[in-house]
Amino acid sequence: MPYHHGNLREELLTAAMELARTSGPDAVVLRAATRSAGVSHNAAYRHFADRDSLLRAVCDRCMAQLANRMEDNLGRIEESGDAVADGWARLAAVGLAYIEFAQAEPGWFRTAYSVPDTHEPFGPGEGVGRSGRTPLGLLSDCLDQLCAVGGITVEKRHDAEYAAWCAVHGVSSLLVDGPLRAMPPADREVAVAKVLQVIGDGLAR
């Protein structure tokens, strides 16, 4: 191992992402990250002002992972020719991606929403996936499209992201951290389907 590491900042972030993945935001710890990078613990201070700055950078990446998962699900959709049906399918794909991400990567999910109070929330260009859009941006896009093709009214479109986001966020939180965490997979599917169905009905009406 040479004295100059070469890419320590990146390696610290990789290590910290692994900590977050396994054990959530509280496990994003300077000493553990440097340990895992094979470097003395205060080498980290060359690249991050303090522990919260490292955590903040990790939050960004976690949110980006969520965005990527949503984009993946969107990319897998086959157009049916029916613009309204496709619009609903896209919205469902985005919502399901959110819930699946939370369950598949609970540590990342929790961390994505753990920006320290001492730091600014995500600014433009932060927490974005490959397409450059945030999770919320991707959801907005779906709703815009659905509105454009007449799947939902303009009135319903207004602030609709709150309804959709809160519903999928709520079911994700309750399944991952909350009282539903012990729920068997079959029941989870029932709960998730009900949430998506009611939200869809509520927007359609």
Q: Which residues bind DNA (CB under 7 A)?
A: 2-6, 8, 29-32, 39-43, 45-47, 50-52
Range 29-48, binding its own copies (CB under 8 A):
none
Q: Which residue has the tokens 């897998």?
A: 76
Which partner from the list DNA, its own copies, none does 100 bind, CB cut-off 5 to 8 Å by kind? none
Reference 57, options 44, 48, 65; nearest CA is 48
- Which 150-179 positions form the footprint of its own copies (CB under 8 A)? 156, 159-160, 162-163, 165-171, 173-174, 177-179
Q: Judged by CB under 8 A, which of 6, 182, 185, 186 binds its own copies? A: 182
Among its own copies, DNA, none, partner that 199 touches (CB below 5 to 8 angstroms by kind) = its own copies
3-state SS of 112-149 is HCCCCCCCCCCCCCCCCCCCCCCHHHHHHHHHHHHHHC
Rule CB under 8 A: which of 92-151 touch its own copies? Answer: 113, 115, 121-122, 136
